[in-house]
């Protein structure tokens, strides 16, 4: 009997080795034969021949690097020796600065605590913290509770130039006093109770006067955010229904230039006098800095109607000499449901054209057999605009949706399923050069 077991083990081992060989051959074939192509939908591909588009399609065990150059696509797959954890960070509650750092803000007027964390694989390690205490006060006579209305989420006020971190509070018009842009100095995390004196006090480089300008006691100033463009800081504010973009030197705080966009109305403001034919804009903009060309592209969602939520006004500013608006594009994106979990959006201005790359999920319908919309088919589109004219639209077709085959027929009665980015591929590191 023992001898029989030994003989049975030999073919079992051979079968296991054969399976591994077949899997290895299949994986190797995927390296060269995986589906990666561009499907032209609108216009001619000549519109993207003067730029290079690159990125990754990856999960926890492998990644495919793709590159679109002169309108032609190439791809190469790398198999990881060890699984790599995925990190599906989404903007909200904290801000990442592209150098492996994450910053979170805790607020309790007038003190704001900023904590710096180092990103390691799928988790973060706190390194340091600091406090900003601007001389500001909050008063909203229309609210009986202690809630505070900011012009934007507090993390929008953080920007980084090189190794230096700056912060300004995204104050609404209900704030008065004196705010500013502060250069932060971080002490070791976990030692907040120690009296450091002025050793880690933030340095105020720009003063923002919030003294009341309106008859009802409001300042009339809304700070939407702070961005970094090369070695310049860009402060975004709305004053008297105008969007202001001001450029400051990050060391001296000197004003280097400014520009304004008229008829820029924020939604749901007290005494909103916006004409019916003028769109409003939501505060939570998207920012795409381009340090190599001293440009900043800002994308604002319109708010005049439910349909307009699918439309954006996209502004590109040049910071080389002051601040100049070089492009304004009004674009409509109606190709599906925006994939806020595993999706991607990227924008940049090159060679007189605005390039936008966005991914979507197909919206579920009554006829759809998929119970969970996160598993619905995904699409990645490439757009090129000449001002507001769509001159090209193409889809990057891949085998991404094959990952979701198991989830297609799962019953809703399960109450959910494990959607782990270690197993489900997603696009990342997409850039246009």
User: Kind of pairing, strands 164-167 and 101-108?
Assistant: unpaired
* Beta carbons within 10 angstroms of residue 405's beta carbon: 9
- DSSP letters spanning 89-141: --SSSEEE-SSSEEEEEEEETTEEEEEEEEEETTEEEEEEEEEE--EEEE--T
Distance of alpha carbon 251 from alpha carbon 379, whole angstroms:
43
Token pair listed for 400 = 């991404």
pLDDT less than 70: residues of the chain: 1-34, 87-92, 122, 144, 190-197, 212-218, 268, 270-272, 304-309, 340-341, 365-369, 371, 413
Residues 6+ apart with CB under 8 A from 288: 296, 297, 298, 299, 346, 347, 348
pLDDT at 361: 85
Distance of alpha carbon 58 from alpha carbon 429, whole angstroms:
10
Radius of gyration of the chain, Cα coordinates, nearest whole angstrom: 26
CA distances from 200 to 164, 188, 421 (A): 13, 10, 39
Distance of alpha carbon 31 from alpha carbon 384, whole angstroms:
29
Give the residue from 158, 152, 181, 51 showing the smallest Cα distance to 98.
158
CA distances from 14 to 7, 123, 156, 427 (A): 11, 40, 59, 38
Distance of alpha carbon 260 from alpha carbon 315, whole angstroms:
11
Residue identified by tokens 């769509």 is: 390
User: Kind of pairing, strands 311-318 and 353-361?
Assistant: unpaired
pLDDT at 245: 98
Residues 6+ apart with CB under 8 A from 257: 246, 247, 319, 321, 322, 323
At 226-238, the pLDDT tens digits run 999 999 999 999 9
Query: 3-state DSSP call for residue 8?
Result: helix
Q: Are 87 and 96 in contact (CB under 8 A)?
A: no
Q: Is 110 exposed, middle or buried (0-12, 13-18, 19+ CB in 10 A)?
A: middle
At 90-115, the pLDDT tens digits run 555 789 888 889 999 998 788 999 99
Query: 3-state DSSP call for residue 325?
Result: strand
Distance of alpha carbon 290 from alpha carbon 63, whole angstroms:
26
Token pair listed for 7 = 């003989």
Q: How many Cα neighbours within 13 Å face the side chain of 87? A: 13
pLDDT at 100: 87
Query: 3-state DSSP call for residue 22?
Result: helix
pLDDT at 215: 58
Token pair listed for 429 = 């590191």
Give the residue from 395, 382, 379 showing the smallest Cα distance to 353.
382
Return the ∠ at Cα 58 (arms to 55 and 63), rounded to 5°.
80
């Amino acid at each position: 009997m023992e001898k029989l077991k030994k003989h049975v083990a030999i073919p079992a081992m051979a079968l296991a080795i054969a399976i591994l060989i077949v899997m290895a051959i299949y994986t190797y074939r995927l390296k060269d034969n995986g589906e990666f192509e561009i499907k032209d939908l609108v216009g001619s591909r000549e519109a993207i021949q003067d730029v290079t588009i690159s990125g990754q399609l990856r999960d926890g065990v492998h990644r495919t690097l793709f590159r679109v150059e002169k309108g032609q696509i190439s791809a190469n797959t790398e198999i990881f020796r060890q699984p790599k954890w995925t990190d599906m960070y989404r903007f909200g509650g904290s801000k990442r600065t592209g150098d492996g750092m994450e910053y979170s803000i805790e607020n309790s007027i007038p003190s704001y605590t900023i904590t710096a964390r180092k990103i390691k694989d799928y988790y973060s390690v706190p390194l340091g913290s600091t406090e900003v205490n601007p001389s500001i006060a909050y008063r909203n006579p229309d609210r009986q509770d202690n809630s505070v209305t900011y012009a934007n989420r507090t993390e929008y006020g953080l920007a980084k130039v090189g190794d230096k971190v700056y912060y300004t509070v995204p104050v609404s018009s209900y704030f008065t006093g004196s705010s500013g842009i502060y250069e932060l100095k971080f002490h070791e995390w976990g030692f907040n109770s120690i009296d450091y004196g002025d050793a880690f006090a933030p340095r105020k480089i720009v003063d923002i006067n919030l003294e009341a300008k309106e008859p009802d006691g409001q300042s009339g100033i809304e700070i939407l955010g702070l961005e970094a463009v090369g070695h310049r800081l860009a402060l975004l504010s709305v004053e008297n229904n105008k969007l202001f973009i001001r450029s400051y030197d990050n060391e001296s705080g000197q004003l280097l230039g400014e520009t304004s966009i008229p008829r820029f109305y924020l939604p749901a403001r007290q005494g909103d006098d916006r004409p019916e034919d003028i769109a409003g804009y939501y505060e939570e903009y998207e920012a795409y800095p381009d340090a190599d060309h001293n440009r900043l592209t800002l994308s604002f969602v319109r708010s005049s109607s439910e349909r307009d939520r699918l439309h954006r006004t996209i502004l590109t500013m040049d910071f080389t000499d002051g601040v100049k608006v070089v492009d304004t594009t009004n674009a409509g994106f109606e190709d599906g449901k925006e994939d806020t979990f595993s999706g991607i959006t990227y924008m940049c201005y090159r060679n007189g054209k605005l390039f936008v790359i966005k991914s979507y999920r197909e919206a579920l319908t009554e006829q759809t057999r998929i119970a969970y919309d996160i598993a619905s088919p995904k699409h990645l589109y490439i757009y090129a605009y000449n001002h507001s004219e769509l001159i090209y639209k193409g889809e990057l077709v891949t085998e991404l949706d094959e990952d979701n085959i198991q989830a297609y027929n799962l019953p809703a009665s399960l109450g959910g399923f494990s959607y782990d980015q270690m197993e489900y591929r997603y696009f990342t590191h997409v850039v246009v050069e």
